[in-house]
Amino acid sequence: MIIANWKMNGNRAQVIEWLDCLQKYLTLSEQSECIFCPPLIYMDIAQEQISLNKMKITLGSQNLDYDSKHPKTGGIDASMLNDLGCKSVIIGHSERRLYFSENNSILSKKLVSASKNNIDIVFCIGETEAEKDKGLCHEVLREQLKALSGLQIKKLFIAYEPVWAIGTGKIPSMKYIEEIHHFIKDELKCSHYYNSDRPVLYGGSVNFDNASEISNLDSVNGLLVGGASLNPRNFSDIVKKIGQNNIWKIY
Ligand code: PGA
């Protein structure tokens, strides 16, 4: 699984151009490995273009709002995402934790909403540089994973995104990524709710040069790509390169 997370970038014309370009460069089977997460406001136009081009790429959302009894001006819930043909959602991204104050209690509600509506969940966790330097990485990740406790989510993917690697060009060593991914998998296995192996994706400054080395690691089951996904040629090249070097691990 390779996710293109556009964050707050792009416009209608770029969404169409990006999808047309992927249709040209990627085979249907390569497309089926990809999830496209444009800004919410462009999901409709993206879905239209995916249908028009008869593409196999999956549409995903960067966010959703949890169900609530109270009216919520500006809110978008999981049933609306379903209505748009959206199959996956990113929850817990560090930028949302930081700039939108999303804590474990809010994230748990979002997880429940997505799960109830059969939307696959990509749940992001990751430590800051200061936390890493203090040796707190395991503790921080364990705390973030608590948002999942008590929930039984069928289609759950974890994305490990060290906050210090997002958009910085800094990449952890392969040994570090491998160790943390194994830690996350083991934590989930011990959690009573997820006693089977769960796919863990890596995200944070993934680009054409490092994508295949990272994706070749045994414990890495996919990639979450931000900045390098905006250019369709770059993104397609990443997808192709990984496809050549890597038969994705079955999970
Ligand atoms: P980046 O972003 O690839 O630009 O580092 C990744 C992400 O935040 O999902």
Residue nearest to atom 2 of ligand 1 (CA): 226
Across the 251 residues of the chain, what is the mean pLDDT of every consecutive 10-residue run? Answer: 97 98 97 97 97 98 91 93 96 97 96 95 98 97 93 91 97 97 92 74 97 96 98 97 64 44
pLDDT of residue 195: 62
Q: Euclidean distance between the first and final Cα of the chain, in Å?
A: 11
pLDDT of residue 139: 97
Domains along the chain with CATH numbers: 2-244 (3.20.20.70)
pLDDT of residue 67: 84
Distance, in Å, from the CA atom of 158 to the CA atom of 161, rounded to the nearest integer, reads 9
Task: State the distance from the centre of ligand 1 to the C-alpha of 94, rounded, in angstroms.
Answer: 10
Distance, in Å, from the CA atom of 178 to the CA atom of 174, rounded to the nearest integer, reads 6
Task: State the distance from the centre of ligand 1 to the C-alpha of 166, rounded, in angstroms.
Answer: 5
Q: Is 49 left (phi over 0), alpha (psi -120 to 50) or beta?
A: alpha
Dig out the tokens for 210 from the structure.
Answer: 């490092």
pLDDT of residue 159: 98
pLDDT of residue 86: 96
> DSSP secondary-structure letter at 160?
E
Is any ligand 1 atom within 6 A of the Cβ of residue 172? no
Q: Which amino acid is at 206?
A: V
- Tell how far CA 53 is from the center of its chain: 24
Distance, in Å, from the CA atom of 56 to the CA atom of 52, rounded to the nearest integer, reads 11
pLDDT of residue 246: 56
Task: State the distance from the centre of ligand 1 to the C-alpha of 71, rounded, in angstroms.
Answer: 32
Q: Could you confirm whether 182 is annotated as catalytic? A: no
Q: Map residue 36 onto helix, strand or coil.
A: strand
